[in-house]
Amino acid sequence: LILGLGYLTKQYVVPLGLVVPLYILVRKKWYLFKRFESWLALIILASFTVPYTLFTFQCSTEGMGFFTLPPVTFELISKYPKLLITEMPVFSVLTCLGIIIGMYKRSRPVLFSLLWILSWYMFHTFYFGHYIGSRYLSLLYPAMILPFSLACYEITIASRKLRLDKAFVCVITFWLLFTTISTPVFFVRGYEEAGKYVGKHLNTKSVLFYGEYDGSFMMGLRRRVPRGSPFVLRGDRQLAVRYWFGGVKKFYVNSVEDIIELLTRYRTGYVVVERDNKKMSKFAEYNLLLEAVKLREYFTNIASFPIRSNYASLGSEVVVYRFHHDFEGKDKSTVEIPVP
């Protein structure tokens, strides 16, 4: 039931739904299928997840159209192990040691944790492997806590014989304190400030944004205008439909004139663009937009906000352009958003 509620929040918990049946299969606990409570839980689970899933597909315009499996390579297989060793080396090593100890002792909780780890890894590597990032580790860490604790306990017991148990506890404590203090506070600035600016000087039906952190921009905008207009048009959805991993599914604009027509149709008053983004500079629609904003008869550069970050390699600045066009007499149009 907890996993079902998690599914309604974020669908990344789907692989964890395999843990319970896998555990039953490995342990041969077939009697659990005969219990009334098991079937009642499944019925309750289906009652709120199946309608939600059917409704999602009904609202979708693309179905599973954004989905392709990543090519299986050694680099793909090793990405998450490398990421774990880089971000939490001691925690990862002790977790592996705890799994070995737990399997040797035939610990059922450790077996459950191992199945959790394997299910998570298989899903996020071979199914969702186009986009690998530390944000997805949040569903893995709970499964690592028990093996890690078991390894710490066994090391403490073994060191007690050598009268080193207090030293080991001190080392672990200082390590936890050191990693906590040395972990940087990540930040990205520039996008939210641009959103606040647009919200403050607002007089338009829509805003087109093309940049890396659209969520940060929209948060800044909604702080000024919490409800109602304008709606934000994402460049990677309105100028083209792109996968998260950079491939393109569909182009909506093929020329600067197409961009002008789209902005006029949606009564767009502002265009906000991230400059000098190396990844986006490979995208045709992004380069077309940069060409379009050079047309002084349509666009005026009214503000720019430098991008600062200690988290990722981004562009140099976020630039706000005012789009000048006569919207009088234009028919109202419906914004079509591709939903996977």
Distance CA 323, CA 300 (A): 7
pLDDT at 100 over 70: yes
Long-range CB pairs of 197-202, under 8 A, 24+ apart, other chains included? 197/303, 197/305, 197/320, 198/224, 198/270, 198/272, 198/320, 199/223, 199/224, 199/225, 200/224, 201/302, 202/230, 202/269
The token duo for 49 is: 């997840």
What pLDDT, on a 0 to 100 scale, did the predictor assign at position 39?
A: 87
What pLDDT, on a 0 to 100 scale, did the predictor assign at position 5?
A: 80
What pLDDT, on a 0 to 100 scale, did the predictor assign at position 63?
A: 56
Indicate the pLDDT class of residue 246, thresholds 50, 70 and 90: low
Q: In the predicted model, what is the mean pLDDT of residues 63-76? A: 75
- pTM, whole model, 2 decimals? 0.72
Indicate the pLDDT class of residue 299, thresholds 50, 70 and 90: very high
Write the pLDDT tens digit of every residue in 185-219: 888 999 999 999 998 887 778 899 999 999 999 99
Distance CA 7, CA 3 (A): 6
Q: Which helix (H) or strand (E) holds 7?
A: helix 2-9
Indicate the pLDDT class of residue 330, thresholds 50, 70 and 90: low
pLDDT at 182 over 60: yes
